[in-house]
Amino acid sequence: MATKFSYSTLRDHAALFSQGLPILTYHKVGPKPRGVKWRSLYAGPRFFARQMAELAGAGYRTANLGETRPAVGNAARKFVITFDDGYVNVLRYAAPVLARHGFTAIQFIVAGGIGGSNAWDIAEGERATPLMDAAQIGDWLAAGHEIGSHTVSHPRLTQIPAARQREEIFASKRRLEDRFGRPVRHFCYPYGDWNEAVRDLVSEAGYATACTHLESGVNTAATPDHALLRIEARYPRRNLRWLWRGLLNGWA
Ligand SMILES: [Zn+2]
């Protein structure tokens, strides 16, 4: 497996971002409620705003997953913003920041969870967090953003029978397209869990791209469309370097 990068500040990633198209991964944006089990899945509103302002200030513009990737480098300073699972907090806290910079993003929706909550996490002891309902997804789309599929029920795809894999991959696309009246061209593997059989089904279903999660790095024309690399955006580890930088930047 490639090195696992995590994105907190552009300074640490400027060299990497110049080598190919970076695709940032976010889950939840907003104040972290008490008792959250997986804290790293939260980006605070100020932290998110700072990351976006920093990229905009450095001349970065957002790209869509379907755009042709350059053979080498990232001369146009493009990047992609992805949000997994479809949380309401993204609409509330991230969408205004995106609008301020003229950025667009994609939310990967769990087609069977619209208007519900993250049942797959709750089963593992996490707090419930609301997922966008159909009207909220409509607002997201109306703001110029995109949706992709994150299956019907968020399973670990390599660990379910082939018939269910097919259902999760095909039916989620169909349901989202029927409900929102537009093509759903991008897929994201829940938990970043995929293998060749799963990838082949995603391709057969007609998705133009699929995002991984565990594989990390930037993308070029040589990166397989159905195994795009992403970089997880998260707070830096709280060591002395983090504290020092935080004090300098006023966000510690
Ligand atoms: Zn997910």
Q: How far is the CA of 237 from the centre of ligand 1 (A)?
A: 22
pLDDT digits (tens, 9 = 90+) for 37-51: 888 888 999 999 999
Query: Which region among 19-23, 142-146, 231-235 has the lowest average model confidence (pLDDT)?
Result: 231-235
DSSP reduced 3-state for 17: helix
Band of residue 213 on the pLDDT scale cut at 50, 70, 90: confident
Q: How far is the CA of 10 from the centre of ligand 1 (A)?
A: 25
Compute the mean pLDDT over every residue in the chain, rounded to the nearest whole number.
93
Q: What is the DSSP letter of 82?
A: E
pLDDT digits (tens, 9 = 90+) for 133-146: 999 999 999 999 99
Q: How far is the CA of 73 from the centre of ligand 1 (A)?
A: 29
Band of residue 1 on the pLDDT scale cut at 50, 70, 90: very low
Q: How far is the CA of 81 from the centre of ligand 1 (A)?
A: 15
Does residue 156 surpass a pLDDT of 90?
yes
What's this model's pTM, rounded to 2 decimal places?
A: 0.92
Nearest one of 88, 81, 109 to 33, comparing CA atoms: 88
Q: How far is the CA of 124 from the centre of ligand 1 (A)?
A: 13
Q: How far is the CA of 85 from the centre of ligand 1 (A)?
A: 5
Q: How far is the CA of 9 from the centre of ligand 1 (A)?
A: 23
Query: Which region among 36-45, 53-62, 87-96, 136-145 has the lowest average model confidence (pLDDT)?
Result: 36-45
Q: What integer is the mean pLDDT of 171-180?
A: 98
85 and 154 Cβ atoms separated by less than 8 Å: yes
Q: What is the DSSP letter of 219?
A: B
pLDDT attached to residue 107: 98
Q: How far is the CA of 234 from the centre of ligand 1 (A)?
A: 15
Q: How far is the CA of 243 from the centre of ligand 1 (A)?
A: 30
Q: Which amino acid, one-letter code, is at 58?
A: A
Q: How far is the CA of 60 from the centre of ligand 1 (A)?
A: 26
CB-based contacts of 145, cutoff 8 Å, min separation 6 = 95, 98, 104, 105, 106, 107
Q: How far is the CA of 31 from the centre of ligand 1 (A)?
A: 19
- Residue ranges of domains in the chain, CATH in brackets: 6-249 (3.20.20.370)
Q: How far is the CA of 24 from the centre of ligand 1 (A)?
A: 14
Percent of the chain with pLDDT over 90: 78
Q: How far is the CA of 59 from the centre of ligand 1 (A)?
A: 30
Q: How far is the CA of 244 from the centre of ligand 1 (A)?
A: 33
Count of residues making up the chain: 252
107 and 69 Cβ atoms separated by less than 8 Å: no
87 and 32 Cβ atoms separated by less than 8 Å: no
Distances (CA, A) of 173 to 77, 119, 131, 135, 207: 30, 20, 18, 18, 8
